[in-house]
Amino acid sequence: MHRFGVWAPKAQKMSLQWSDKVLPMEGPSKRGWWTLEVPEAECGDRYAFLLDDDPQPYPDPRSLRQQDGVHGLSELYDHSKFEWHDQLWRGAPKTGAVIYELHVGTFSKEGTFDGAIPHLQYLAELGITHVEVLPIAGWAGKQGWGYDSVALFATHEPYGGPDGFKRFVDACHANGLSVILDVVFNHFGPVGNYTTKFGNYLNDDRKTPWGPAVNLDGEGADEVRRFFVDSVLMWLKDYHCDGLRFDAVHAFIDLSSVHFLEQISTEVERLSSTLTREFFLIAESDLNDPRIIRSREANGYGMDAQWSDDFHHSLFSLLYTPEKGEAGYYADFGELADLKKSLQQSYVYDGNYSDFRKRKHGRPPSGLSAHHFIHFDQNHDQVGNRAKGERIEHLVGLDAAKVSAGLLLTAPYVPMLFQGEEWAASTPFLYFADHEDEELRKQVAEGRRQEFAAFGFGDDVPDPEDQATYEASKLNWDEVNEGKHAEMLNWVKSLIRLRRSHVCLNDGDLNHLRVSCDEDQRVLVYQREEARITANLGSKPYSFTLLEGERLTLVSREGLTVQNNSLDLPPMTFAVFMSSRQSFEDREVASRGKP
């Protein structure tokens, strides 16, 4: 027995195509739903919907499986049939997270869920607590980043289907890794979106960079919101994901009294209470608006954390100086004071004027813990949206990449690594896609060339539709233990181990952080109670004198030692000095009496 249902307020009549039959459906209800019970239907059956007199069968917008791709028939799938082994799993604490962003298609040679599983033990040994997976909801074509999803309840079949993803999640939990899934609710992909045949899923009166905005507050918005929220609950409940990352929430246009993000956080909290599991909700936003991560009780939207770009932009602008300059948002950054401010409060732009935007931007995130912000020095966007997909080490060398990782992993914020950065992977991460329509393939390739040229990269861009572009982006696991790759990996392991060994490095209270910088010498120092973190980004050595009770604990260049109670820190070098708690408190007491 299966009860078929579809929201289709636009239809005058609706039929179910199932097996070799076409069966009329009952409806519509007051809210526009059509339903039909089919006693003989069972798991594995294929079906589709027929609207009015249109002979074209359309897949179910809520299809759980699209084995023949997003244009094909939908398939009945039973979540209860999978045998899980994570009954005792409750998830890693989100305030102590070290996140690892990975793309299933390029993380392993196989490019599948099952192909990723053998590498999970490596991530656990590295010190990762949360794996953040780029979108896996179904899209047209074989390879892509996943941000063109159209089947939001189904997994991308070439990755291994729904059972494949469940095996991946189950294996993550067996290795002590929480799973955060990236979901895209701000738009549908350009190919294979049939939702608009059924109802008002989009609002043509409002535009986003990807076209019409999703309908969150217009006619029929209740059911559209229900569609997305039910997808959220499914990934958490039926796929055992530990959290979700919501792509570009600044593109949600919602003037209703209860914001869409607030509705999501409310319903996820109810599910969390029911399942007695903690979930991690992360929003990507460029608004610098703390309401997104404030609690609902404080009139916020209730997201647990947000991706924060300002740290990346301020750090990258200091490390990398291109010959011809790069346009875009980097124009707003470039001073050491920007990096200092991003460490002090995450937002560099908190109501001050932005040259890039030609207006004031942001507001202060006063009173919020650092654990509400995800910081990174690389991610899929910042690497993949470069013409050649270069990683930081490709652009600035190993020494600077080490400094970058040091600043990321010792700062108060939740750090996120991008796949392969921990060993300075030689492979790029390029933009790639696999559109079926030849004209669309040409448009995408030309669009990327124009976009990169406008950003200052020139027009020599790998064709995103070429299979070779995708293959070139796959990680080369054979190089992990070789030369500079092994050196970088050992450095990142040491940083994570240090973070795990000291409570002060996991403290999210920004009142316990003191940051200073020397703009001329390009030297940055921040004190996190017992830990003093130093970075010399300049061109000359900088001498650091050890404080009473302090010792050199970690330094990015081999062979550097303390002499005469001081350390000459060479250019582009990072070091950590540690004190005992007693020594730190004694110095604090002594300093209070000084002017």
- Dihedral (C-alpha) 480, 484, 490, 494: value to the nearest 10 degrees? -140
126, 131, 138: which is closest to 171 by C-alpha?
Answer: 131
Q: For residue 284, indicate whether it is catalytic.
A: yes
| Helix (H), strand (E) at residue 105 | helix 104-107
Other CB atoms within 10 Å distance of the CB of residue 31: 12
Residue with tokens 């460490």: 343
Residue with tokens 């050196």: 487
Q: Are 208 and 252 a contacting pair, CB within 8 Å?
A: no
Distance of alpha carbon 185 from alpha carbon 149, whole angstroms? 9
DSSP-assigned states of every residue in 121-155:
HHHHHHT--EEEEPP-EE-SSS-S-STT--EEEEE
Q: Of 247, 310, 421, 422, which is the active-site residue? A: 247
| Helix (H), strand (E) at residue 591 | helix 581-592
Q: Residue 13 is encoded by which pair of tokens?
A: 């009549």
First to last CA, the chain: 80
Cβ-Cβ contacts under 8 Å for 438 (sequence gap 6 or more): none
Distance of alpha carbon 356 from alpha carbon 351, whole angstroms? 14
Burial of 40 (0-12, 13-18, 19+ CB in 10 A): exposed
Between strands 542-545 and 359-361, the pairing is: unpaired
Instruction: Please tell me whether residue 500 adopts helix, strand or coil conformation.
Output: helix
Q: Are 133 and 102 a contacting pair, CB within 8 Å?
A: yes
Residue type, 474: K
R_g over Cα of the chain: 25
Q: Of 242, 284, 350, 381, which is the active-site residue? A: 284
Q: Residue 77 is encoded by which pair of tokens?
A: 């799938």
Q: For residue 247, indicate whether it is catalytic.
A: yes
| Helix (H), strand (E) at residue 181 | strand 178-183
Residue with tokens 């004198």: 545
Q: Residue 76 is encoded by which pair of tokens?
A: 């009945």
432, 433, 435, 443: which is closest to 388 by C-alpha?
Answer: 432
201, 265, 202, 216: which is closest to 236 by C-alpha?
Answer: 265
| Helix (H), strand (E) at residue 354 | strand 352-354
Catalytic residue list = 247, 284
